[in-house]
Structure formats: C-alpha cells, structure tokens
Amino acid sequence: MSEVSEHPIDVSVSAHYVDGQSEPSRNRYVFSYTITITNLGIRPAQLMSRHWIITDADGNQQEVHGDGVVGEQPKMDPDEGFRYTSGAILKTPVGSMQGTYYMVDDEGNAFEAPIAAFTLAVPGYLH
C-alpha cells in the first residue's frame, strides 16, 4: 500500500482577529486560530512536533518549532480528529501562516502532514 493512502491527514483552519487584545497604535495585531486535524489514514498517527512559518505584510517571518501542540502530542486513530486553539501576534494587520506537523504512525514510521497557508487579517482590511 502506498505511503499516501496510509497517512492522509486533513488539516482545517479557522482564524479570527482578537480586537480586545490588539493595539493597532502599537503595531500589535492578535489573532486566534482553531485547527482541526483529522486522521483519514488506515493507521493510528501521533502528532509529535510542529513547524510554523508566520509572515507579516512587510515580509518579516517568524519560525516556530516545538513539541506537539498546546502542550499535547495527540494520538488519533483512523477517522479520529483533534481540535485546538492557539494564537499569533503580528506587527501588521494582515499576514499568513503555514507549516508542517511531524507525525509518527503506530509502527514507528515518521511522516509529515503539511499545513496549507492561511490568512490572518483584520476584518474589513482585505477586499
């Protein structure tokens, strides 16, 4: 069986501007994002670590590496998911995030689950 059919991981994202924690006059724009990770594969998979690339509208990039997500290394059986909420702070009202989850299946095989780029934007800022 091919690697693709054994390890498809679906990642969906919903991002929101957090007005109450932002200070535009100080170039501080706070965003929250909720991510749902679903194991569409045929084997259990555990999220071991993450790598994020966060880019603001000026092209400045931050890279974030770390174990798990929100202090956990969730293990998902086939057709099972895990949802969490986290946040990012930008110096501009618009930016983007993308990255990779590093996973391992129950047989010890490591694989990557890409996180497609998504936009962080103050409501009404983009047309």
pTM for the whole structure: 0.90
Q: Tens digit of pLDDT for each residue in 20-73?
A: 999 999 999 999 999 999 999 999 999 999 999 999 999 999 999 999 999 999
**Res 124: pLDDT:** 87
**Res 5: pLDDT:** 52
**Res 61: pLDDT:** 97
Architecture field, domain 3-115: Sandwich (2.60)
Average pLDDT, the chain: 93
- The pLDDT confidence band at residue 125, using thresholds 50, 70 and 90, is confident
Domain locations along the chain:
3-115
Query: For residue 21, what are the CA distances in angstroms to 52, 63, 94?
Result: 22, 22, 16
Q: What is the percent of the chain where pLDDT is above 70?
A: 94
**Res 127: pLDDT:** 61
**Res 117: pLDDT:** 97
Rounded average pLDDT over 93-110: 96
